Structure 1
Amino acid sequence: MYHHLDGKVFQETSKNAAQFLMLCSLRRALRRTDQFKNNARGIIVCLVDKEWIWHAKSAAMLLMTGGRDRSYYDDFRRPVHVIGESSRRSAGKGVEDFTVFRPDHQVIYLATSLDSVKHSLQLAADVIVDVKAPTARHVVAARKVLGVEDINNPLAAAIAQLPAEIVVGLTARRSLNGLDLATLTKPVPAPDRSPKLADLPGYGPARAWVGAIKQDVADWREDKLPWSDVDRGVLLVGPPGTGKTLFATALANELGFDLVPTSVGAWQGANKGYLGDMLAAMSASFADATSRRGAVLLVDELDAIGDRTTMRGDHAFYEGNVIGRFLDLTTHALEQPGTIIVGATNYGHLIDNAILRSGRLEKHVHLDLPEDEERAEILAYHLNRSLSVAELREVTDKLRLATPADLEKLARAAKRAARIRQGVVSLQDVEVSLPAKIPLPETVVHRICVHEIGHALMTMASGVADVISIRVESHMIEGEPVQDGGRVHYKMRDAALPIDKDLLARIRIMLGGTAAEEVVFGNRSIGAGGYEGSDLDQATRLAYRLVGSYGLGKWLRYQVGADRIDGSFHPAPDLRVEVDGILAREYRATKELLTKEKTRLMRLAAELVVDRQLLIDKI
């Protein structure tokens, strides 16, 4: 190490306030070590606050080289390394992963926390020191060498307590006359940690888990619980707009952790998108989270990471490396105290099973569309509770397909309407902000009622439910390609181990709507198909699971996992023929039963046309 800098180097250093301040801090931290006093070779690990680390690197290079420009033919000769961070200029270039060696020279490793330093490097280090932020004495000294106006110790002490960028700026400022010491010493308000999950409506399936992890984190902070006993990995699965990102934000706030948001798409788009660029960007996100000792790492679009069981062709090498690196980073990150990983996806079945196993993203939370009461609560929340849940039910009970994102959009529109008329938000503001609705012709409403009664009668005939409620719409939303004309609600008695008879009954329930239309009108509409999740889509997928996964078809065989039967599934020709046969057979059986029940079918449909809702029970 260079204890003294020559005149030219010192003069250059004196012009850089940040470098000079950290040079003072480094010398203060290292002055009692053999490496500093006796120039002994060895490994030095310096723990530096995150906001000072790049200034510390510059100062450490100066301390180790004396300001002499040198080139190093390999990493082993470089005297200064930074662990777990990427500079702004090299964002996406990655995180250095060091192999521990015994150097024949001095080497400094800079890290923001001991958790980010590999255990092998901790053991090999000759000394591990904490490098504190610059002190008041350092600020005074820096202003002297900069040749600017002297300041007193109380003012210097106040400056030293501020964030790094402010310390550097005030240290280099020529005059501090008129600077209000009271303003500098005023306590910095704590960051706003809202919203917390406890403040948000909805998220019913996740609340018990969040409550448990909140208590575990509190116990961990008090050293009552090792971090290994805390649930640290969770996957959020749900359609777009169900609040997955908001959940991760609220979870971080609930725990008092930082949120580190990223996505697989952001990694793929890093730099030029080559494999090395993506792996580097991925590593940088994980390093950012693990360096904070209290962070929720949100990885959105997780299904885009890939699945090794479906990899084919030229992209297999790329995807295999991406998944392998993600698994390594996830395992390491979850071992670091204070790091929680939240994955978010619309398609949980497209994610590699190794990512979802116990020990990684082991907790799976399914976020569905909100129920009646939840919709009103969500809208009330976004309206700042200016209207009660009971009042808003008049509106939200008609929005059965609305996502939380849709309700937030509606609240913004209602608040804008209130601002325009210069009043407080009223129910009328909410109603005028609803999407335009077009009344359905009575002939269409009648067909919808027949369709829904067909589902209900087949449900009753299957014996899976005792009470069924039905509701139909009188209007359609203008411009929406997929709409919910009606819906049948019932609580199904699920068999613990369903047999083929149970699964075939479910297929008949799904086909009941279109079969009822043919029985009553002599023809069918497009209402049973046309989109994912439709009656026909569900019936077809269940038939494929029955014969291609469960082994309950003509042949005793397994072709694919039940959760893999989706839009990317390519069935064998004979499997397709067998499924076509099952659907045709069950449709005939459904039509036969509804033909026998035609009088009842038409009577109940007529009641539903009049009342728009109906309750059918076993009695």
Structure 2
Amino acid sequence: MHHRLDNKVFQETSRNAAQFLMLCALRKALRGTDQFKYDTSGIIVCLVDKEWIWHAKSAAMLLMTGGRDRSYYDDFRRPVYVIGESIRRSAGKGVEDFTVFRPDHQVIYLASSLQGVKHSLQLAADVIVDVKTPNARHILAAREVLGLEDIDRPLAEAIAQQPAEIVVGLTARRSLKGLDLATLTSPITAPDRSPKLSDLPGYGPARAWVGAIKQDVAEWRDDKLPWSDVDRGVLLVGPPGTGKTLFATALANELGFDLVSTSVGAWQGSNKGYLGDMLAAMSASFADATSRRGAVLLVDELDAIGDRTTMRGDHAFYEGNVIGRFLELTTHALEQPGTIIVGATNYGHLIDNAILRSGRLEKHVHLDLPEDKERAEILAYHLNRSLSAAELREVTDKLRLATPADLEKLARAAKRAARIRRAVVSIRDVEAALPAKIPLPEAVVHRICVHEIGHALMTMASALGDVISIRVESHMIEGEPVQDGGRVHYKMRDSALPVEKDLLARIRIMLGGTAAEEVVFGSRSIGAGGFEGSDLDQATRLAYRLVASYGLGKGLRYQVGADRIDGSFLPSPELRAEVDGILAREYRATKDILTKEKTRLMRLAAELVVDRQMTIDKG
């Protein structure tokens, strides 16, 4: 047990009013024990007021470790446990499910009442102490080390009689001038936790999960549900701007939890970025979250944590240690009542599978671009409902590639325009804030139509899809490097176990656009490639899955998981040659089909040029 803290640890502790107050209270309670006086090993049970128990956990850890990294301790050498509040119960017995063991070190068990402590632990304990709440002397000392204005003893004594949150808040307040004793008993308005997920539009794929976890947390708070039955780890996957960070913030607000926000990049940039610095920063973020009585820990850029299946060269040792430590911290944190971990990434397939397994970040929510109705609702929300979603549809229906972040930016610009006019936001302000659009030449529109009809005809030929809808754009947005000139939607027929023929047909559908251009114009444009998610990107990845994962190539080979076929996958020259052969063969087959259908292809493309949209119902 550490009687004195080094200067650095003391300075850090003194900035945390709650931790410092409980450190004082714990030292006062333990001062007469052999464990404190002579540093002997043993079991100490501390009875702490329920409001202070989580602050006591943080202080007890500091008292026992002196501020050293918690990674030094394994499950059987952890120096501090919280019982009674940890809703990890044996089935139907309502008591803590842990083993009492005789330690060769010091261990503190924190409980809010003796009735919540197993009889076996009471008998095994070397000492049971009652930890009083921080007193006036502790409050005066805390204000002194915080460098705050002095207060008199009667005011400190009055503060000490208040609930924990008021004690901590007033202890850390810079000035208490003019504060009378009556003020202390006045109700304090709870801070507005906004926005909440239930107030936000969008997030369709996550709605059911959020509703379930909100109900579970409510039952956990009422001691009706053990924390182990609550979903506690979730991974958000989606392109930039789809609202992953806002999701975590709104989830915390929905549950009444604190948000602890960090990123793998922040850990890597800590201090000099050495392995020890990285691990220490990571541990600090988890410690911050688990020390609270309810927290959502957001870890952004989670793909940067690495994947042990792709580690090579000099960085393997570094990355292996980082992933291993992250797994340990995640497992421990999710066991702590009130801790939820939200990982966010643009590239879910680059994350180590052990992180994503059941018991860790087991719930995977894919956030895609919002649908037509959602776009209007999101924009209306950011415009403070000054315009209804129905009124905004004429604008948002044309913004099919807009992310929630784009819509928020549009709302800011529209509100700024309204402020300049000194008026409420109108649809005119929204339209004026839209990015400039440039009309596409008719020759370009014609090529786009041919391209999209090529996809549609190959879908019809494949017998894989029904109700094909096509639309093309007449304008391009100025300054945007990647744009959606047209799109084909079709409902896939159910196929629980696709066969090789079905997968090759999908490749032909993806190649249908560029093949149609060559059939009609004798040349191809760059419209089939150039970015992730393009026609060629999807066709190439599916071909690699065929030969490297599904065993549907020349040999019965499994080389890599289907979800690992991405930019980091390094195929052998032999594998590349086989994929090139598949793509070339299917492209020839696609051209042959479209050549036979050239008259129909040109007729449908001409109709699409005129109407800009088309629906084909095969039923």
Q: TM-score range by the shorter chain?
A: 0.7 to 0.9
Q: In 2, Cα distance between the equivalents of 1:238 and 1:100? A: 35
Contact (CA 8 Å) 2:140, 2:150: kept in 1 or not? no
Query: TM-score normalised to the size of structure 2?
Result: 0.82
Q: In 2, Cα distance between the equivalents of 1:257 and 1:582? A: 53
1:355 alignment partner, SS class: helix
Match of 2:171 among 167, 170, 189: 167
Q: In 2, Cα distance between the equivalents of 1:346 and 1:38? A: 54
Q: In 1, Cα distance between the equivalents of 2:71 and 2:610? A: 70
Displacement after TM superposition at 1:140 (Å): 8.9
2:118 equivalent in structure 1: none
1:325 equivalent in structure 2: 325
2:569 equivalent in structure 1: 569
Q: In 2, Cα distance between the equivalents of 1:251 and 1:147? A: 37
- Following superposition of structure 1 onto structure 2, how do residues 8-23 of structure 1 map, counting pairs within 5 Å? none
Change (3 A) 1:461 1:562: same
Change (3 A) 1:577 1:189: same
1:552 alignment partner, SS class: coil
2:584 equivalent in structure 1: 584
Q: In 2, Cα distance between the equivalents of 1:510 and 1:101? A: 56
Displacement after TM superposition at 1:499 (Å): 0.6
Change (3 A) 1:365 1:148: closer
The 10-residue stretch of structure 1 (542-551 or 48-57) with the greater mean CA deviation from structure 2 = 48-57
Q: In 1, Cα distance between the equivalents of 2:378 and 2:149? A: 59
Please say if 1:204 is aligned against 2:204.
Answer: yes
Q: In 1, Cα distance between the equivalents of 2:171 and 2:23? A: 15
2:465 equivalent in structure 1: 465
Please say if 1:599 is aligned against 2:561.
Answer: no
Displacement after TM superposition at 1:254 (Å): 1.5
Displacement after TM superposition at 1:556 (Å): 1.7
Displacement after TM superposition at 1:282 (Å): 0.9
Change (3 A) 1:496 1:110: closer
Identity %: 80
Change (3 A) 1:222 1:481: same
Displacement after TM superposition at 1:586 (Å): 1.0
Displacement after TM superposition at 1:293 (Å): 2.8
Q: In 2, Cα distance between the equivalents of 1:20 and 1:208? A: 41
- Write the letter of the residue equivalent to 2:171: V
- Write the letter of the residue equivalent to 2:375: R
Q: In 2, Cα distance between the equivalents of 1:20 and 1:487? A: 61
2:496 equivalent in structure 1: 496
Please say if 1:543 is aligned against 2:526.
Answer: no
1:402-461 Cα deviation digits (max 9, x unpaired): 111111111111111111111111111111111111111111111111111111111111
1:39-82 Cα deviation digits (max 9, x unpaired): 89555576666779999999xxxxxxxxxxxxxxxxxxxxx435
Change (3 A) 1:317 1:441: same
Q: In 2, Cα distance between the equivalents of 1:546 and 1:531? A: 22
Q: In 2, Cα distance between the equivalents of 1:394 and 1:224? A: 48
- Following superposition of structure 1 onto structure 2, how do residues 131-210 of structure 1 map, counting pairs within 5 Å? 131-135=131-135, 152=154, 156-158=157-159, 161=162, 162-164=166-168, 166-167=170-171, 178-210=178-210
Displacement after TM superposition at 1:523 (Å): 0.8
1:184-208 Cα deviation digits (max 9, x unpaired): 4432221222211111111111111
- Following superposition of structure 1 onto structure 2, how do residues 63-102 of structure 1 map, counting pairs within 5 Å? 80-82=63-65, 94-95=69-70, 97-98=72-73
1:327-362 Cα deviation digits (max 9, x unpaired): 111111111111111111111111111111111111
- Write the letter of the residue equivalent to 1:550: Y
Contact (CA 8 Å) 1:547, 1:575: kept in 2 or not? yes
- Write the letter of the residue equivalent to 1:248: A
Contact (CA 8 Å) 1:232, 1:339: kept in 2 or not? yes
Change (3 A) 1:142 1:442: closer
1:224-269 Cα deviation digits (max 9, x unpaired): 2211111111111111111111111111122221111111111111
Displacement after TM superposition at 1:216 (Å): 1.5
Q: In 1, Cα distance between the equivalents of 2:371 and 2:261? A: 28
2:278 alignment partner, SS class: helix
Change (3 A) 1:149 1:315: closer
Contact (CA 8 Å) 1:452, 1:513: kept in 2 or not? yes
1:532 equivalent in structure 2: 532
Q: In 1, Cα distance between the equivalents of 2:353 and 2:18? A: 48
- Write the letter of the residue equivalent to 1:157: A
Change (3 A) 1:360 1:269: same
Q: In 1, Cα distance between the equivalents of 2:139 and 2:292? A: 27
2:91 equivalent in structure 1: none
1:369-411 Cα deviation digits (max 9, x unpaired): 1111111111111111111111111111111111111111111
Change (3 A) 1:134 1:511: same
- Write the letter of the residue equivalent to 2:568: S
Contact (CA 8 Å) 1:213, 1:230: kept in 2 or not? yes
1:515 equivalent in structure 2: 515
- Write the letter of the residue equivalent to 2:481: P
The 10-residue stretch of structure 1 (221-230 or 518-527) with the greater mean CA deviation from structure 2 = 221-230
1:307 equivalent in structure 2: 307
Q: In 1, Cα distance between the equivalents of 2:326 and 2:599? A: 60
Q: In 2, Cα distance between the equivalents of 1:557 and 1:369? A: 36
Q: In 2, Cα distance between the equivalents of 1:21 and 1:565? A: 53
1:7 equivalent in structure 2: none
Q: In 2, Cα distance between the equivalents of 1:595 and 1:455? A: 14
Contact (CA 8 Å) 1:140, 1:156: kept in 2 or not? no
Change (3 A) 1:479 1:255: same
2:288 equivalent in structure 1: 288
2:273 alignment partner, SS class: coil
Change (3 A) 1:167 1:577: closer
- Write the letter of the residue equivalent to 2:553: G
Contact (CA 8 Å) 2:29, 2:131: kept in 1 or not? yes
1:316 equivalent in structure 2: 316
- Following superposition of structure 1 onto structure 2, how do residues 39-118 of structure 1 map, counting pairs within 5 Å? 44=44, 80-82=63-65, 94-95=69-70, 97-98=72-73
Q: In 2, Cα distance between the equivalents of 1:521 and 1:281? A: 58
Is there any run of 5+ residues in structure 1 with no aligned partner, and where? 2-16, 59-79, 87-92, 103-108
1:528 alignment partner, SS class: coil
Q: Give the superposed CA RMSD.
A: 3.6
Change (3 A) 1:24 1:583: closer
1:456-498 Cα deviation digits (max 9, x unpaired): 1111111112211111111101111100001111111131100
1:153-203 Cα deviation digits (max 9, x unpaired): 7x8414753343633668xx8xx7754444444322212222111111111
Change (3 A) 1:406 1:119: farther
Q: In 1, Cα distance between the equivalents of 2:489 and 2:258? A: 41
Q: In 2, Cα distance between the equivalents of 1:398 and 1:166? A: 53
Change (3 A) 1:129 1:198: farther
1:75 equivalent in structure 2: none
- Write the letter of the residue equivalent to 1:81: M
Q: In 1, Cα distance between the equivalents of 2:59 and 2:429? A: 54
Is there any run of 5+ residues in structure 2 with no aligned partner, and where? 2-16, 87-97, 102-106, 110-120
1:608 equivalent in structure 2: 608
Change (3 A) 1:169 1:387: closer
- Write the letter of the residue equivalent to 1:255: L
Query: TM-score normalised to the size of structure 1?
Result: 0.82
- Write the letter of the residue equivalent to 2:158: A
- Write the letter of the residue equivalent to 1:501: K
2:420 equivalent in structure 1: 420
Displacement after TM superposition at 1:564 (Å): 1.0
